Amino acid sequence: MSLKVCKFGGSSLADAEHFLKVRAIINSDPERKVVVVSAPGKRFSDDVKITDMLLLCHSMLEQGLDIAPVFQKIRTRYKEIVQDLNIDIHIDALLDETENDMRTIATKDFMASRGEYLCGKIIATWLGARFVEPAEFLQIESNGLIKEETYERLGEQLKGDGLVVMPGFYGCTPAGKVKTFSRGGSDISGAVAARAVRAELYENWTDVNGFMMADPRLVENPKHIETLTYKELRELAYMGANVLHDESIYPVSEPGIPIEIKNTNDPDGSFTRIVARRPKDDRIVTGIAGRKDFYLIQIEKILMNKMVGFGRRFLQIFESHGVNFEHAPTGIDTMSVIVRKEFIGEQLPSILEEIKRTLQPDRLEVTDNLALIATVGQGMIRCVGFAGRLCTALSKRGINLQVIDLGSTQDNMIVGVELNDFEEAVRAIYEEFEQ
Ligand code: ADP
Ligand code: ASP
Ligand code: MG
């Protein structure tokens, strides 16, 4: 029989009411045999995700503070779910043991992973399913990649009779220590499970009917996207369309397992399907996504174009500080690097000092309120004057462009705008290409 892996995100597991919807979805299709769960997310907009509370516990422990009051809130969330659904599990004992383990092991990854662990234990008991512990079978390399042997070992555990439940978000290091993916990483766990069991489909259940052409929090009622390619998804997700983690495509794209993003609150409604190739359509733009909080670091030096190795030396300064860069637009005598603020952290002053000392630029400028917007679509390359239309749409609203990068494949145009213009710029691009 063919198999479907279904991953339920934190928004689908926030409370008992959502648990009931999840159970109904699983029970409605006998092919839904492998279930991957996140930790309970927000029940309302000001609520706090379990994972955020666990990370708070970790920083409190580091500061020598008592985590008991915060853990009490975590305890209440799980106990409410168990009591509301009358689940036959020794929840106090499980929570006591978890609190104790957190104090003993105390690493950030271990503590953050307990949200998924507890949720997985509770759901497995409730559904009478087998619990698979990812810390035993899902090995994550230091570069975040998964080795082929892991898929085989995990596949053996996940296959077999009956339903299985695996917590998302974590696995283990090659040395056997609990390791988490980055935030939102249960999406990756679901993709790893799908490849491990050679699933026919990876269903990712969330709180929206799939991908919209733009973030519904920024654009009112954006158009729904029926089909996306893995590549378009990766570009949009990386640039902030966080409905799915951008790294989720690696495990599934090679074997060509499709992903469907569906709404737990509207299981029969529209959804987005992600595949390797999509038939050519008339759309120019598939989606728009953006991220805030970048630095643009620009240098200017007369005759830079004649200095062999200058660009390499500039980039090497970032490398030697362990900082990834996103884009590096260049001119004849200018070169810029765009980096995420979170990647550079406290290192900005020492990077700037090294640039001045080793490259002696005529001008060094840092823009610290840059937001980037990616406009993505396989139809862009066929659209004469695409870049002009996009820039005009922005200039009509008085939005100043800080930087433009039309990737070499011309299916992803990145523009940089000031932070204050971010929302307005997303709306301007959306309205221009909504069609
Ligand atoms: P989950 O709890 O299921 O992991 P997430 O919060 O990680 O869910 O992802 C779903 C959210 O992604 C939606 O509620 C929506 O606000 C947001 N989102 C951002 N960009 C988009 C987009 N282009 N289309 C749909 N949703 C988007
Ligand atoms: N619970 C984790 C987070 O909040 C992982 C996930 O939900 O995918 O980031
Ligand atoms: Mg998510």
Q: What Cα–Cα distance (Å) separates residue 211 from each residue in 223, 294, 381?
A: 9, 25, 22
CA distance linking residue 141 with residue 174, whole number of Å: 7
DSSP string, 211-231: -BSS-TTTSSSPPBPSEEEHH
Q: Where are the domains of the chain?
A: 4-275, 287-433
- Contact in structure between 110 and 89 (CB atoms under 8 Å): no
CA distance linking residue 24 with residue 22, whole number of Å: 5
CA angle, corner 41, sides to 37 and 44, nearest 5?
145
Q: Which ligand is nearest to the CA of 188?
A: 2
Q: What Cα–Cα distance (Å) separates residue 33 from each residue in 119, 126, 160, 201, 256?
A: 17, 15, 9, 11, 19
CA distance linking residue 294 with residue 419, whole number of Å: 9
- Contact in structure between 135 and 172 (CB atoms under 8 Å): yes
Residue 308: pLDDT band by 50, 70, 90 thresholds?
A: confident
> Mean pLDDT over residues 48-72, rounded?
97
The pLDDT tens digits of the residues spanning 232-247 come to: 999 999 999 989 999 9
CA distance linking residue 148 with residue 154, whole number of Å: 10
Residues touching ligand 1 (Cβ under 6 Å) are: 9-12, 38, 41, 184, 206-208, 211-212, 214-217, 241-243
Residues around the ion ligand 3 (C-beta < 5 A): 9, 184
Q: What is the distance in A from the centroid of ligand 3 to the CA of 24?
A: 21
Q: What residue's CA is closest to ligand 2, atom 2?
A: 184
> Which of 56, 108, 183 for a ligand 2 pocket mutation test, highest count of atoms within 8 Å of Cβ?
183
* 171, two tokens: 């696995």
Positive/negative CA dihedral, 250, 251, 255, 258: negative
The pLDDT tens digits of the residues spanning 269-285 come to: 999 999 999 887 778 89
The pLDDT tens digits of the residues spanning 184-193 come to: 999 999 999 9
Q: What is the predicted pLDDT for the residue at 405?
A: 83
Looking at the CA of residue 186, tell me the nearest atom of ligand 2. Answer: 8
Q: What is the predicted pLDDT for the residue at 66?
A: 95
Positive/negative CA dihedral, 399, 403, 405, 406: positive
> Mean pLDDT over residues 401-424, rounded?
88
Can you state the percent helix, strand and coil of the chain, rounding each to 5?
Answer: 45, 20, 35
Q: Is domain 4-275 classified as CATH 3.40.1160.10?
A: yes
Helices (H), 361-421: 386-396
Q: What Cα–Cα distance (Å) separates residue 10 from each residue in 184, 264, 408?
A: 9, 11, 37
**Nearest partner of 119 among 85, 88, 161, 81, judged by Cα:** 81
The pLDDT tens digits of the residues spanning 314-327 come to: 999 999 999 999 88
Beta strands 363-376 and 334-340 are unpaired
Q: What is the predicted pLDDT for the residue at 385?
A: 87
The model scores a pTM over 0.85: yes
Q: What is the mean pLDDT of the chain?
A: 94
Q: What is the predicted pLDDT for the residue at 299?
A: 94
Compute how many other C-beta atoms are within 10 angstroms of the C-beta atom of residue 90. 11
Task: Quote the percentage of the chain above a pLDDT of 70.
Answer: 100
Q: What Cα–Cα distance (Å) separates residue 376 from each residue in 158, 232, 244, 329, 411?
A: 36, 7, 16, 18, 6
Compute φ and ψ for 346, nearest 5 degrees: -85, 0
Q: List the 32-37 sheet strands across, edge first.
A: 130-131, 164-167, 32-37, 4-8, 201-206, 259-263, 272-275, 227-229
Q: Tokens 């309205």 correspond to what residue?
A: 431
Are domains 4-275 and 287-433 of this chain identical in fold? no
CA distance linking residue 357 with residue 362, whole number of Å: 12
Q: Is domain 287-433 classified as CATH 3.40.50.300?
A: no
* 393, two tokens: 């749409």
Compute how many other C-beta atoms are within 10 angstroms of the C-beta atom of residue 267. 16
Q: What residue's CA is closest to ligand 1, atom 11?
A: 243
Q: What residue's CA is closest to ligand 2, atom 8?
A: 184
Positive/negative CA dihedral, 187, 189, 193, 198: positive
- Output 363 or 384, whichever has higher pLDDT: 363
CA distance linking residue 422 with residue 395, whole number of Å: 13
Give the three-class secondary structure for 154.
helix
pLDDT of 1 > 70? The answer is no
